């Protein structure tokens, strides 16, 4: 396979399509259960598509451009997991091809081939979380654009427009996934150490970085929702308690094969004299990119495997170097097969209940489960007092209280007059048909707001309140 991809023949693109198709084929034959994260994005897209304003009418931490994308998908396909997976597949292939273009254009390797795209494609199957349209996957597109500009600037000393665009791309990435804002350190680090960038150009970089956020803030200011934008999006990453979908050993299992190859490649590059100074600079920059990606992942508010996607370009870069340096063709072929099959083994073993799923990788909290009231609630507007989201598979969200961590700003202190007024106003705007009270706070809410108490009654099911007059 390595020998096949080590040419400049455009026909090899068919080989890349074949690799990606074979990696993802089981997903379309044996359907993946709907994940909690996917359902959360679908709920958000559905709510936004009805004209509600993000952060003010929907209390959620998802970045604005990602939320807008989910709204557009809902308008086109509804709550379709297949649509998310197909768009993610196309986006992953497009990113792989663009990454390959970056490597050729900027002469990152001594030989031009389709190996960078092939390695990128393999790494985009590291875990089944990569198979859906996550905010991180969409943000990675703009990080690739920024990487391209950084390398080209170091090589060519480009214009102010290119520097502005570099910051602009990182700013756009942060509006898909906020922690990507930290990647502004990548061009600053590169320009500071490896180029003759002036102080004025650093200011241009920062202006480009802040421009998308400024436009977004102006948009919410127009709708008098700038405070909600800051509290529910920007500051939420500070005051919300961190939550991890998987334990640390899971991520070690996911990364062990690619990071081992990265380590071997770096050791080989240290002892190699086959690269010019510019290529060595690019290697140092990509090493910094890996460190930055893993640091951002470590300090993220919620850790899912899909949040490792920003590290994929840099990991693919070093693994491609390993294949180029390795002189023994048989070894290169075996290592490529090892990377491919180890990646697919971790992904599908954990997904379909193999050894890893029963020992290290626990997916019990990953997927939507059958809810005890599924038979009762269907195509209804509901609100859940608690973090459970499985019930929304066949229902719609009423009220802004989508993220329970944010909702605690109201329900955490029902002795506050402002909180009680806020809850009542939010219910009046979008009255739910049912209230699912998993936290046991409904009676206290009704005690504080008699108007709501008059509108709802306890159903025949425990902790389920139904609006009077709908049955």
Contact by Cβ (8 Å): 195, 157: yes
How is residue 54 annotated by DSSP?
B
Decide if pLDDT at 264 tops 80.
yes
- Pairing mode of beta strands 464-467, 434-437: antiparallel
At 35 the three-state DSSP class reads: strand
- CA-to-CA distance for 253 and 360, rounded, in angstroms? 9
At 38 the three-state DSSP class reads: helix
pLDDT band at 76 (very low <50, low <70, confident <90, very high): very high
pTM of the complete model beyond 0.85:
yes
Angle of helix 64-77 relative to helix 135-156, nearest 10 degrees? 130
| Nearest CA-CA partner of 173 in 60, 53, 64 | 64
Strand ordering across the sheet containing 434-437: 396-397, 381-385, 434-437, 464-467, 456-458
| Nearest CA-CA partner of 198 in 234, 160, 248, 235 | 160
Contact by Cβ (8 Å): 140, 309: yes
pLDDT band at 236 (very low <50, low <70, confident <90, very high): confident
Decide if pLDDT at 7 tops 70.
no
What confidence tens digit (pLDDT) does each residue in 454-466 have? 999 998 888 899 9
DSSP string, 77-88: HSS-HHHHHHHH
Contact by Cβ (8 Å): 304, 245: yes
DSSP string, 306-373: GGGGGGHHHHHHHHHHHHHH---HHHHHHHHHHHHHHHHHHHHHHHTT-HHHHHT---TTTB----TT
pLDDT band at 61 (very low <50, low <70, confident <90, very high): very high
- CA-to-CA distance for 220 and 395, rounded, in angstroms? 28
How is residue 227 annotated by DSSP?
H
The predicted pLDDT at position 401 comes to 94
Q: What is the sign, positive or negative, of the torsion defined by CA atoms of 425, 429, 433, 434?
A: negative
Contact by Cβ (8 Å): 183, 170: yes
pLDDT band at 44 (very low <50, low <70, confident <90, very high): very high
- The residue to which tokens 């290290």 are assigned: 360
Question: What's the gap between Cα 257 and its chain centre?
Answer: 22
Encoding tokens for residue 446? 């009704």
Region 297-303: mean pLDDT is: 74
Alpha-carbon distances of 38 from 44, 104, 119, 237, 372, rounded to whole Å: 10, 35, 26, 20, 20
Decide if pLDDT at 301 tops 70.
no
- The residue to which tokens 């809902």 are assigned: 74
Kindly state the percentage of the chain with pLDDT values over 70.
96
What confidence tens digit (pLDDT) does each residue in 331-384 have? 888 999 999 999 999 998 888 877 777 677 777 778 888 877 777 788 899 999
| Nearest CA-CA partner of 116 in 405, 280, 322 | 322
What confidence tens digit (pLDDT) does each residue in 384-407 have? 998 888 889 889 999 999 999 899
């Amino acid at each position: 396979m390595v020998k096949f991809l080590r040419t400049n023949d455009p026909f090899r693109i068919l080989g890349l399509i074949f690799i990606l198709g074979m990696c993802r084929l089981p997903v379309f034959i044996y359907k993946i259960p709907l994940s909690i994260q996917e359902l959360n994005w679908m709920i958000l897209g559905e709510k936004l598509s009805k004209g509600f304003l993000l952060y003010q009418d929907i209390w959620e931490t998802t970045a604005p451009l990602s939320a807008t994308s989910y709204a557009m998908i809902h308008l086109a396909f509804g709550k379709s997991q297949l649509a998310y997976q197909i768009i993610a597949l196309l986006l992953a292939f497009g990113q792989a091809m663009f990454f390959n273009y970056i490597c050729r254009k900027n002469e990152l390797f001594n030989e031009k081939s389709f190996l960078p795209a092939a390695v990128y494609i393999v790494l985009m199957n590291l875990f089944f979380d990569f198979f859906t349209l996550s905010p991180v996957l969409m943000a990675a597109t703009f990080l690739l654009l920024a990487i391209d500009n950084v390398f080209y600037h170091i090589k060519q000393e480009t214009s102010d427009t290119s520097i502005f665009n570099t910051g602009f791309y990182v700013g756009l990435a942060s509006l898909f996934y906020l922690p990507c804002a930290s990647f502004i350190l990548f061009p600053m680090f590169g320009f500071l150490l490896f180029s003759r960038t002036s102080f004025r150009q650093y200011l241009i970089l920062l202006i480009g970085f802040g421009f998308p956020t400024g436009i977004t803030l102006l948009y919410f200011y127009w709708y008098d929702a700038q405070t909600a934008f800051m509290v529910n999006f920007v500051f939420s990453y500070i005051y919300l308690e961190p939550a991890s979908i998987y334990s640390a050993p899971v991520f070690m299992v996911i990364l062990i094969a690619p990071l081992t190859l990265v380590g071997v490649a770096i050791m080989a590059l240290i002892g190699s004299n086959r690269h010019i100074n510019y290529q060595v600079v690019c290697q140092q920059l990509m090493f910094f990119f890996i460190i930055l990606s893993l640091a951002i992942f470590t300090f993220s508010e919620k850790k899912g495997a899909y949040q490792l996607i920003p590290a994929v370009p840099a990991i693919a870069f070093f693994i491609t170097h390993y294949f180029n340096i390795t002189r023994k063709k048989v070894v290169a072929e075996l290592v490529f097969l090892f990377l491919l099959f180890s990646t697919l083994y971790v992904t599908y073993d954990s997904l379909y209940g193999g050894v890893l799923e029963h020992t290290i990788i626990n997916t019990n909290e990953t997927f939507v489960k059958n809810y005890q009231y599924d038979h009762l609630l269907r195509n209804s507007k509901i609100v859940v007092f608690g973090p459970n989201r499985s019930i929304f598979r066949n229902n719609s969200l009423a009220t802004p209280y989508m993220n329970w961590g944010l909702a605690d700003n109201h329900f955490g202190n029902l002795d506050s007059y402002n909180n009680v007024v806020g809850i009542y106003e939010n219910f009046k705007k979008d009255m739910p048909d049912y209230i699912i009270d998993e936290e046991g706070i409904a009676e206290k809410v009704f005690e504080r707001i008699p108007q709501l108490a008059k509108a709802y009654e306890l159903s025949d099911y425990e902790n389920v309140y139904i609006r009077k007059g709908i049955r």
